[in-house]
Structures are given as structure tokens and as C-alpha cells.
Amino acid sequence: METRGIEDMFDFRRFPKQAALLLLLLIYSPVGICLMLIRIFVGLHVFLISCALPEGFIRRFIVRIMCSVLGLHVRQKNPRSRDKNTKLYICNHVTEFDHNVINLLTPCNTPQLEGSTGFVCWARGFMEIHSTASQAAMKECLQRYCCTDGTAPLLLFPEEGTTNGRVGLLKFSSWPFSLTESIQPVALRVTRPLISLNTPESSWLMELFWTFFAPCTVYHVSWLPPVSRQEGESSQEFANKVQELLAVELGLISTKMTKADKAEHIKRQRHSVPQRAASVTPVRLGFKVQSLTTDDHRLAKMATQVKDVLPHVPLNVITKDLAKTNCIDTTITNLLEIKEDTQLEAAEIATSGASKGGSHSSASAPTIKPAAKSFGKTPVDRHLSFQERKEAMYNFARRRYIEKHGLDQDD
């Protein structure tokens, strides 16, 4: 297996980056909105017809023709390779409607492993599992289903999450391969013009609306010959072998990225946006800060409040500290401590120079005077004096801030 950058396997942008495609999408948008409204109306009829007609070839044929009106076009390759005795189909996962599309070609059931149950689960074409208290109970329930005669094959997606279908496959989970000794691999490739097939944090309902908006979505289903487990082969080794077969068929990379890696990547992407916004340097005009994001407006307002309390501190220094602390009181304390450290260092230099250089050093020393009545002779005394002066300056700054903004003293 090969490890590839996980950011290439998902599309976080719904629209293309190229200017020409964006212009084309803008021109198409009125047509797409009209198509979406019409297809919503037709989709309700497709749902009613699929519920009214009994399971069989006629129902699948009619629904497939009507799905073409909805923009869902299905093409299959090597249909003769499909084994009617196989009880488990293994497929890669690209969109939220993969199981519906494959069900148009052959009867199969996909269990709902997570998400809504009840009517929504049934309406989306999933098979609801009642014994889902644990993964062991779920596996036992599905094993019994596969051993039951006359049942439709199971369709499972061992990636357990969708990708953009262009770069690689997520690592296959091993538990689906422990259900039966023989499986039928199904390679799925999906294409759509102008807009992405999916985005990681979008709901299935939003994906349905975008599917209706798009000109068309073409599903290419390729049936691979059945694969059986070899003697002494573990479930994970069996899963890796099938993953490699599907990757070769699709021309993709077989990665070690798991569903958990995808969730972690989505979390990082979600938090990286405000961090990038906070890193934008504000533009200062006088005492007014102009910015391009909401976080910059908030940071500029906080910087102005600190500037009112500490007018001698440059605004860029305040903004830099606020970006780290994100707290007005903490920033004021930090800036006061910086000032006190500078004053203490200067006072120590002045005292040392006076003791060594006599009147000449005293004349050239800084004119900084400590708040204490006399400068401490020992480091302990000077530290106590520093703490007292820092506390006094902090209380003064706090009172000035409270009086300026009309806050309650107790708060």
C-alpha cells in the first residue's frame, strides 16, 4: 500500500478554482436552479413509484429511466461477471447515493451502520439493523442474513467514508470480509461537470439538491470476478487484497488512510480557517483598524480598548500580543510586565554605573525613578519593590479601563 497526502482525496470546495469554469458555472446557474426545482418535483414521483411497484426488473427499469431525468445516468461494465450466488458485494464509496445506483442494476441491500433510523433510513433505501448494540452483534446479524436463503446480496462500503474518487481509496475495514468466504468486488467511478461530487461536511440532503442542480452525474459501475479467501488468510489480508484489486481497476492508489484519519483531517481543516483569518495583519489608519474578516474586526476592537488604557504602547505590539492571548486583561498584564522589566533593568544599570563611574556615570544614566522611596540594596528588596509597583500600575490601568467603559467595579 502507498501513503498519499490525504488533502488530495477530498474536495472542500464545491466550485472549481479555474476562472473559465467559474464563469461557465455562473452562466449555467439560472438553468441549474430551474432544473433543480423540476427535478425535486419529478423526484417525488420517482419515490412514490419505487414504493408502489413490487421489487423486480420492471420496477428497476422504470426507476432507472426516471433517474435519467433527474440527471443520474448509470453505465455498467462486465455485467456477466456478476455472480448470482455471491452474497456480499464490496464497493468503493464516492457519493451518498452509491447504494441506490447499484440497486438500479441488481437487487441488493445496504445496512444503515450510522445515521438516521426509521422512515428516513427506509426512504433512503437502507436496511435498518436492530441488533446494533455492538460491532460483534452487528456482525452476527449480518452473518445470519448472508446465510439465509432467498435474501438479496449485501452491499458494503469498507472504506466507511466517501472520497472524491480521483486519487486513492481509504483503507478497507476488515470486519466486512469476515462475513463470508467469497465476495464480489464492484468498482465505482463517478463523474460530474462544474461542481464537486461531495464535500466532507455536507449532509445527504444538501448533496441531493446539488445533484439535482448539476447538469448530470454519471456512474460507471464495473463488475470484477468474485474473490475467495485463501486458506490461512486473515480478514485484514483479505481486505487489503480486494482493496488492491479495486485500486488497480480504478487507476487509483491504495492508501493506509482510515476513516479516523479523514475525521481528523476535517477537524484540522475546520480550525485552520479561523487561524488563517487571525493571522491576517490588520491595516492601521490612525487609531482605526480595518480588516477583512470577522476575527480581525474583533481583534481590532480589543486592540483599541487596550490602547485606551495603555496609550504609550504601539498598536502593532498590542495586536501581536492579542493574537496570542485573545484576552484584554492578559494582554494589559503582559505589556505592563514588559514595561516593568525594562524599567527595572534600566534602574539597575543606572545604579551600577553610579557606583563605578562617579558623577560622570550619574549624569549619563537614564532618568527612570522607581516608585519605592529608595532603591533596594539587595535583589530581594528590588524584587519586592518591582512586584509592588507592578501591582499598583495594574490597578491603575484596571480602574482607568473600568471608568472609561462604564463597567461595574465588582464585575
pLDDT digits (tens, 9 = 90+) for 294-312: 566 677 778 888 887 777 7
pTM for the whole structure: 0.64
Kindly report, residue by residue over 249-288, the tens digit of the pLDDT: 999 988 888 888 888 888 887 776 555 444 444 443 333 3
Question: What mean pLDDT is predicted for residues 114-129?
Answer: 81
Kindly report, residue by residue over 214-244, the tens digit of the pLDDT: 999 999 999 999 999 988 889 899 999 999 9
User: 255 burial class (0-12, 13-18, 19+ CB within 10 angstroms)?
Assistant: buried
Radius of gyration, CA atoms only, the chain? 34
* Percent of the chain predicted with pLDDT > 70: 78
- Here the cell at position 257 is 488512510
Is the predicted pLDDT of residue 87 greater than 70, yes or no?
A: yes
Task: Answer whether 300's CB lies under 8 Å from 396's CB.
Answer: no
Least confident of 127-131, 139-143, 368-372: 368-372
Predicted local distance difference test score (pLDDT) of residue 295: 61
Mean of per-residue pLDDT scores for the chain: 79
Kindly report, residue by residue over 179-204, the tens digit of the pLDDT: 998 999 999 999 999 899 999 888 89
Predicted local distance difference test score (pLDDT) of residue 149: 84
Q: How far is CA 25 from the centre of its chain?
A: 25
Is the predicted pLDDT of residue 402 greater than 90, yes or no?
A: no
* DSSP β-ladder status, 154-156 and 88-91: parallel
Q: Which of 227, 151, 219 is nearest to 185 (CA)?
A: 227
Predicted local distance difference test score (pLDDT) of residue 147: 86
Q: How far is CA 158 from the centre of its chain?
A: 21
Predicted local distance difference test score (pLDDT) of residue 184: 93
- SS3 annotation, 27-93: HHHHHHHHHHHHHHHHHHHHHHHHHHCCCCHHHHHHHHHHHHHCCEEEEEECHHHCCCCCCEEEECC
Predicted local distance difference test score (pLDDT) of residue 23: 94
* DSSP β-ladder status, 182-191 and 217-223: antiparallel
- Cα→Cα distances 243→118, 142, 186, 371, Å: 32, 21, 11, 74
Predicted local distance difference test score (pLDDT) of residue 273: 54
DSSP 151: P
Question: What mean pLDDT is predicted for residues 331-349?
Answer: 64
Task: Answer whether 68's CB lies under 8 Å from 135's CB.
Answer: no
